Chain A
Amino acid sequence: MSEKYIFLAEDNSNDVALTIKALNKCHIQNRLVVVTDGPEALSYLLSPDLENKPAVVILDLKLPFIDGFEVLRQIRANTDTQHLPVFILSSSVDENDRRKSMKLGANGYECKPISFNEFVILIHRICWELVS
């Protein structure tokens, strides 16, 4: 059985560092694959050579060049990736964005909390399948 891993699209290195620390806090030891922009996310996830798909996809909404919405849309449009669990993360809560995320088929739309301790709880919830 292929290993389960987490896929993160996030352009801010501090937020990547916080995600890694949060995963450690949750005792999630799975591999984390990180890309820093929309096109990279799409070329990774939609690649026909990708045999082992991620267990969870976490997308920052504000990504360079192609935003999280567009990445989500394309993930859902592709038969190989349409069933992947995808979570959208944003710096602010915006009801319009939330509605749009759900309409595009996200499994969740979450606001990145300013507190690290709350972020750990959020990561725990998103990646609960992987928590040992």
Chain B
Amino acid sequence: MHNKNAPILSDTDHACCMIMDKMSEGALVLTDEGTIAYCNQTFARMLSLAVSQVEGHDIFCFVQNHDGERLRHILSQHPHDAQIEIALIDCELKTIQTLFSIGELKHGPLPSAYVVVKDLSVSSETVTLEDKTRLLAEANKDLESFAAVVAHDLRSPIRHIRSFTELLLEHLQSAADQDSKHYLDVITNATTEVNTIIDRLLYWTSIGSSDVYFSRVDLNVLVRNVVNSLTQEAADRNIEWDIDDFPPVYGESNMLQTALTCVISNALRYTQMQPIARIKIANEPQTANLSNFVLSVKDNGVGFAIPYHETIYDVSQEMHSQEAFEGTGIGLATVKRIMQRHNGNYWASSHLNHGAMFYLELPLYLEL
């Protein structure tokens, strides 16, 4: 198996050789001039050769010229511990990128070096969680950009369908019978729906955009804006508001206002059947994470059973749902995304006929 001309190895060495043949990395012992005194199976396999075809030869036979010079230079320095990237050439003249870890061997009769050879083309098991997270984030960004471009491109044909349908209706006028008018109405309504879906999709992608500017946001102002405009819209209803004071948060005010509008108008909607709608917007005490705080919206409405609630996080359902949260333009899955973009959180709890609680966790604005 091993070259007869190689230096004679003792029994212990043989045992070590057996272990070394099982290594996932290549292992070499080189003489001062670069002759391969010993190599393990793994190294030979890298070159698609047998051990006997490798031992006794110069390492430089298997290394690209330029790298060979660098290797020669390093070996001449008798390094204690060096690392160098080397391009190996196998028996089919294919290149294999490797990392040579070189160290001096002082125990033999002749000066020599040991080398551990790591194949760089094999994917490492040590891809860090950080790497994976970054790759995932990049893939998501690509998908979002693509979605935004597609959504924008859809606007034109939808506009043409809708506009020319209106022109057709006008053109037919009295010639259009009831059925024709009805069909054209259906087409018109469908274009409105598509347009709304495009709006939601574009808004969704804008949340993840890097263009967003975060700063100190006065939540009290936002909450009062939302409450005032919703109260105006629901002028005919009897609503009791109970609103706490809130600390400033670190965020983007348009997104936060949108999220608040969705959650609070949701509360109004679920309390439609109540003679008096009672909505409490509270500042919840936070003990676990002192850099965040929680805003809760509690209503005395019909509530919902938790299994239903899980489906409202289904984004695809939300994009299509017509009756869900009309007028807010977005749904709860988008609220959740806005909270995540703020490194915050969002959750809800409820019992049927006992109202609902919606929680928004946000990072406090900390004065430096």
In the complex, A115→B152 CA distance in Å?
17
Pick the contact of A14 from B155, B160, B198 — CB < 8 Å?
Answer: B160
> What's the dominant secondary structure at chain B's contact region?
helix
Given A114-B191, A114-B195, A119–B163 Cβ distance below 8 Å?
A: yes
Taken together as a complex, chains A and B put the C-alpha atoms of A18 and B163 apart, in Å, by: 8
A116 near B163: Cβ-Cβ < 8 Å: yes
List B residues 121-154 near A (Cβ within 8 Å): 152
Asked if A92 and B155 make an inter-chain contact with CB atoms under 8 angstroms apart, the answer reads yes
Q: Find out whether the CB atom of B163 lies under 8 angstroms from the CB atom of A91.
A: no
Chain A neighbourhood of B155, CB < 8 A: 91-92, 112, 114
Number of interface residues of B (CB under 8 A): 17
- Taking a contact as CB atoms under 8 Å apart, the answer to whether A15 and B156 are in contact is yes
B326 at the interface (CB under 8 A from A): no
Instruction: Determine the chain B residues whose CB is within 8 A of the CB of A21 once the complex forms.
Output: 167
Q: How distant is B196 from chain A, measured CB to nearest CB, in Å?
A: 10
B78-113 CB contact bits vs A (8 Å, 1 = yes)? 000000000000000000000000000000000000
Q: Distance in Å from the Cβ of A97 to the closest Cβ of chain B?
A: 11
A114 and B163 within 8 A (CB) = yes
Q: In the complex, are the beta carbons of B156 and A92 less than 8 A apart?
A: no
Whether the pair B159, A91 counts as a contact (CB closer than 8 A) is: yes
Please tell me if B158 contacts chain A, counting CB pairs below 8 Å. Answer: yes
Which residues in chain A, 92-115, are within 8 Å of chain B measured between CB atoms?
92, 96, 112-115
A92 and B152 in contact (CB under 8 A), knowing A114-B191, A116-B162? yes
Closest chain A CB from B94 CB (angstroms): 46
Determine the residue in chain B with the shortest Cβ distance to A12.
B156
Q: Does B166 contact A (CB under 8 A)?
A: yes
Residue from the list A92, A96, A115 in contact with B163, Cβ < 8 A: A115
* C-alpha gap A92/B206 in the complex (Å): 13
- Contact residues, B196-213 vs A (CB, 8 A): 198, 202, 211
Nearest A residue to B206 by beta-carbon distance? A94
Asked if A117 is an interface residue, CB under 8 A from chain B, the answer is yes
Complex Cα gap A21–B164 (Å): 11
Q: Tell me the complex Cα distance, A43–B167, Å.
A: 34
Cβ-closest chain A residue relative to B163: A116
Q: Quick check: A115 and B166 within 8 Å, CB to CB?
A: yes
Contact of B158 (CB < 8 Å), options: A15, A96, A114: A114
How far apart are B40's CB and chain A's nearest CB, in angstroms?
Answer: 60
**B156–A116 touching, CB < 8 Å:** no
CA distance A18 to B195 in the complex (A): 18
Residue of A with least CB distance to B158: A114
Interface residues of A in 1-35 (CB under 8 A from B): 12, 14-15, 18, 21
For B158, B160, B198, the residue with the greatest tally of chain A CB atoms inside 10 Å of its CB is: B160
CA distance A117 to B170 in the complex (A): 11
Residues of chain B within 8 A of A116, CB atoms compared: 162-164, 166-167
The one of B152, B162, B167, B211 in contact with A114, judged by C-beta atoms closer than 8 angstroms, is: B162
List the A side residues contacting B191 at CB < 8 Å. 114
How close is A50's CB to chain B, nearest CB, in angstroms? Answer: 30
Q: Tell me, rounded to whole Å, the shortest Cβ–Cβ distance linking A122 to chain B.
A: 12
Q: A91-B152, A92-B152, A92-B202 are known contacts. Are A112 and B167 too (CB-CB below 8 A)?
A: no
Within 8 A of B (CB), among A57-81: none
Chain B residues with CB under 8 Å of A15's CB are: 156, 159-160
- Measured between alpha carbons, how far is A100 from B159 in the docked complex, in Å? 24
Q: How many Å from the CB of A37 to the closest CB on chain B? A: 16
* B162–A115 touching, CB < 8 Å: yes
**Quick one: given A91-B152, A92-B152, A96-B211, are A114 and B202 in contact (CB under 8 Å)?**
no
Complex interface residues of chain B between 179 and 195 (CB less than 8 A to chain A): 191-192, 195
Known: A96-B211, A114-B191. A91 touches B156 (CB 8 A): yes
A12 to B167, CA, bound (A): 18
Add 16 more A-B contacts to A14-B160, A92-B152, A96-B211 (CB < 8 A). A15-B159, A15-B160, A91-B155, A91-B156, A91-B159, A92-B202, A112-B155, A112-B159, A114-B155, A114-B162, A114-B191, A114-B192, A115-B163, A115-B166, A116-B164, A116-B166
| Cβ-closest 8 pairs across A and B | A116-B163, A91-B155, A116-B166, A114-B162, A114-B159, A14-B160, A114-B195, A18-B163
Can you list 5 A-B contacts with CB-CB less than 8 angstroms, sorted by A residue number? A14-B160, A21-B167, A91-B152, A91-B156, A114-B163
